[in-house]
Amino acid sequence: MGLTKSEIFTDQQNEIASLAKAFAHPARVAILQQIFKAKTCICGDLVDEIGLAQATISQHLRELKKIGLIKGSIEGTSVCYCIDEENWAKTNNIFVQFLDYKSQNTDCCQ
């Protein structure tokens, strides 16, 4: 398997791709939806709500935290997660600008 050669792409292109990768797995989408639904930090409820193994949930949480979409705080022996509001707003802006690019540039094939 070849390398992605990310260095030949712009910072913006790499950022969009990294964020899109975070949304590319349905388990991560389900985790984010569950955190939004709870409207609070979630600790151990994700395993019961989503139905995946604890190790699998932890792996997906790690990816979401690495990209900055969620943040965690330690409470006793568990880590509680919530949406990182600042990074979520930034992500929203990045995708809106990217997905709205076509409407800004209408000189295209019909």
CATH number for 21-93: choose from 3.20.20.480, 3.90.1150.10, 3.40.640.10, 1.10.10.10: 1.10.10.10
Instruction: Give kind and range of the element (H or E) at residue 81.
Output: strand 78-83
Domain chopping of the chain, boundaries:
21-93
* Tokens encoding 10: 């712009």
pLDDT in tens, 4-52: 688 899 999 999 999 999 999 999 999 999 999 987 778 778 888 899 9
pTM of the model: 0.82
pLDDT over 80 at 109, yes or no: no
User: Does residue 29 contact residue 23 with C-beta atoms inside 8 Å?
Assistant: yes
